[in-house]
Structure 1
Amino acid sequence: MVNNRSPLHLIAIEEHFITKEVQKIWNDIGLSRSDPSLIHNLGIIGERLLNLSKARISLMDDAGVDIQVLSLTTPALHDIKAEIAKDISRRCNDAVAEAIARYPNRFQGFATLPVSDPEQAALELEYCIKTLGFKGVMLSGRINNKNLDHSDFLPIFESANNLKVPIFLHPRTPPQDICKTYYSNLSPDLDTAIATYGLGWHYDTGLQFIRLLLSGIFDRFPELQMILGHWGEMILFYVERLCTMKSIAKLNKPINEYFRKNLYVTASGMFLPDYLERAAQIVGKRRILFSTDYPYQHKSKYEIQSFLNECSLSDEDLSNFTHANWIRLTECKNE
């Protein structure tokens, strides 16, 4: 253990925002009836999600975070009809671009896509990368009632592959029938908690990644890179079992090799040194990334520095974790 490390350049890659327009469209379609996680976007959290200006910068300074990579919070536009989502996604992306223009040394962006229309989503991703200079794209799990490995969505993954940008797979609440079966009849508050941030979000996201892997997405696009938050959304702790499916899936490589060639993982504010060590063992030290999951979590500079001090990483590896791995990834120098 190395103590009293010097402050490091911190690029936090899972940091969220929302717009009033997105809030309204969620309300108009009654999304809260099927996605109880929307309750977490109220109060002070909601205020912070909406703010892309000085108040956010001030809280970044309090945490010692130099750069936030902004992404529309879950469930993004995944339940919005294509003809509506197209214009909303463009306005979300332009809002992020405006924030970056105001604070070019403090913000970067993940693209928001009209995912109900995969062909249009692929075009919007190209616009975000080539015109706005964004660093990648965030997908919030299932799109309507289809898993991400459905063939309809291939244009999105093909576009990300061609543009050489990472796809961040973010949690969303599991389907209603799953919630009813596994995450209900405790109490209203507990039902919501266990279905979302307590457990359900993370199982659902990990499963989306595994379905994509088993579907052969990385055999089709060997250079495609994906990111999972919360230290890999459970799946890093079951790699040994997951590897048993290689022959059934008829994949080109052992499953754990895809973890080391096509997956990055990030902290999402879960500052636990033993989780970091497990992640580094599975995906490699050059594939771990820093993030705080703002504003759902807001860590103090002291908390972040204490975590970094407790890490068993060398100074070089810690520098890679806090910023250099992200820079290397987004400069398309994957290893």
Structure 2
Amino acid sequence: MTGPELKVTGPVIDVHHHVVPGFYRAVLESAGLLRPIPGVAYPDWSPATSLAMMDGLGIDAAVVSITEPGVHFADADLARRLARQLNEYLAGLVADAPTRFGAFAVLPLPDVDAALDELAYALDVLRLDGIGLLTNYRGEYLGDPAFEPVLAELDRRQVPTFLHPARPPGRDQPAFDLPASVYEFPFDTTRTIANLLYAGALDRYPGLRLIVAHAGGAVPFLAGRLADAAVISPAVAHRLPADPVGALQRLYFDTALSANPYSLPSLHALADPDRVVFGTDFPFMPAEHAGQSWTRLCRFHAGTPHLLDRIAGGNAGALFPRLLPRAVAHQPVVSR
């Protein structure tokens, strides 16, 4: 890329960065799921491709995760074994490049008992940096009472938890020949947050450090409408949180696929400035797109460079202090 540098004064940490290990691709292929998101091919990936992208854009560290379909497409036994294999792979990736990579562990939900065992192993033995969740597991959303033990443990540990969308369970709605990730992903994120909000989970578990992908889907735009649910339908008044907007403001939001002049104003109208973090969605979105997103983010914050510093890495550094020492001189170089 060419053009003048736009600098930040601190580190740059990408919290929405995926990995696709070769053995995981093979399992997906054997299950007929090499395109688990219809219309979207799983990209070729290796640690070297991530590091090259990060070096090219001046990203100091990335906290990596597995995306849709996770492991819940498999039977319970395979899901447990695959989650363990993925988490041990992630631990090895971090061990090989501890200043460049952090990782969110995979849980074999909706098997809650197995998920709690894997959560403890991933955090206490493998020392991974956080937990990755999907918005729904076989049609069960995170506000379902079945998931309470997992939410309670995440709240107790106050561990960073990355919430990534999955395809909604229904398959009968029209798709318009568009990939679900174009619009169903943010819709499913919105479903999950609405579910958590009106299940009371965001109030019951104030220690949740939930990072919501893609600027929270439609949540920032719909925050006022979500808060007015009891006016729309008095039957839900008994479920209304004491401060619904305040509960939403305790969430963290990443900028992946959302660093644009349409999404950012709504995001910043809702989100606490300390709770917006940088994300690229690499390799599902190519390095070129990440550079363009960075440019748009810089343009939007041209008058608020202190806020840009916080989004670029300061806020993520508070969540992942282990990744802060690599505050090196190279900075993102982007085109205006």
Structure-2 residue corresponding to 1:68: 62
Shift of residue 99 of structure 1?
0.9
- The answer (yes or no) to whether the contact 2:36–2:68 under 8 Å persists in 1 is no
Matched residue SS, 1:98: helix
CA contact (8 A) 1:280 1:287 kept: no
**Out of 187, 198, 216, which is 1:232 matched to?**
216
- Confirm whether residue 182 of structure 1 aligns to residue 141 of structure 2: no
Partner of 1:87: 81
Asked if the contact 1:78/1:140 (under 8 Å) is kept, the reply is: no
Structure 2 spans left out of the alignment, 5+ residues: 231-235, 322-336
Whether the aligned pair in 2 keeps the contact of 1:12 and 1:291 (CA below 8 Å) is yes
Structure richer in helix, relative to its length? 1
Q: Is the 8 A contact 1:63 1:304 kept in 2?
A: no
Residue number in structure 2 paired with 1:13: 15
1:288 is aligned, of 267, 272, 276, to: 276
CA contact (8 A) 2:298 2:308 kept: no
Question: C-alpha displacement at 1:251, in angstroms?
Answer: 3.8
- Cα distance in 2 between the residues matched to 1:18 and 1:38: 17
1:81 Cα shift? 2.1
How far apart in 1 are the matches of 2:41 and 2:308? 32
8 Å CA contact 1:215–1:249 kept in 2: the answer is no
1:280 aligned partner, one-letter code: H
State the Cα RMSD in Å: 2.4
Letter of the 1:203 counterpart: F
- In structure 1, how many angstroms separate the alpha carbons of the residues matched to 2:237 and 2:33? 37
CA deviations over 1:295-333 (Å, ceiling 9, x no partner): 1112347535522431236232211111111122346xx
Per the alignment, in what secondary structure is the counterpart of residue 181 of structure 1?
Answer: coil
Would you say the 8 A contact 1:273–1:310 is kept in 2?
A: no
Aligned residue for 1:270, secondary structure, equals coil
Normalised TM-score (structure 2): 0.84
Tell me the equivalent position of 1:41.
41
The equivalent position to 2:151 in structure 1, one of 157, 161, 179, is 157
Deviates more, 1:295-304 or 1:167-176: 295-304
Query: Aligned partners of 1:79, 1:154: CA distance in 2, in Å?
Result: 22
Is the CA contact 2:131–2:159 (under 8 Å) kept in the aligned structure 1? yes
Change in Cα spacing, 1:153 to 1:31, as seen in structure 2 (3 Å) is farther
**Contact 1:169-1:209 at 8 Å conserved across structures:** no
Conservation of the 8 A alpha-carbon contact between 1:11 and 1:323: yes
Equivalent in the alignment of 2:333: none
Instruction: Report the Cα distance in structure 1 between the residues aligned to 2:156 and 2:24, rounded to whole angstroms.
Output: 29
Alignment of 1:1-335 (within 5 A): 5-8=6-9, 9-31=11-33, 37=37, 39-42=39-42, 45=43, 47-48=44-45, 51-52=46-47, 54-177=48-171, 180-183=172-175, 186=176, 190=177, 192-193=178-179, 196-245=180-229, 248-261=237-250, 263-300=251-288, 303-312=292-301, 314-330=304-320
TM-score (norm 1): 0.84
The 1:302–1:243 alpha-carbon spacing in structure 2 relative to 1, beyond 3 Å, is closer
List alignment gaps of at least 5 residues for structure 1. none
Rounded to whole Å, the distance in 2 between the matches of 1:220 and 1:163 is 14
SS of structure 2 residue aligned to 1:294: coil
Question: Cα distance, 1:31 vs. partner?
Answer: 4.5
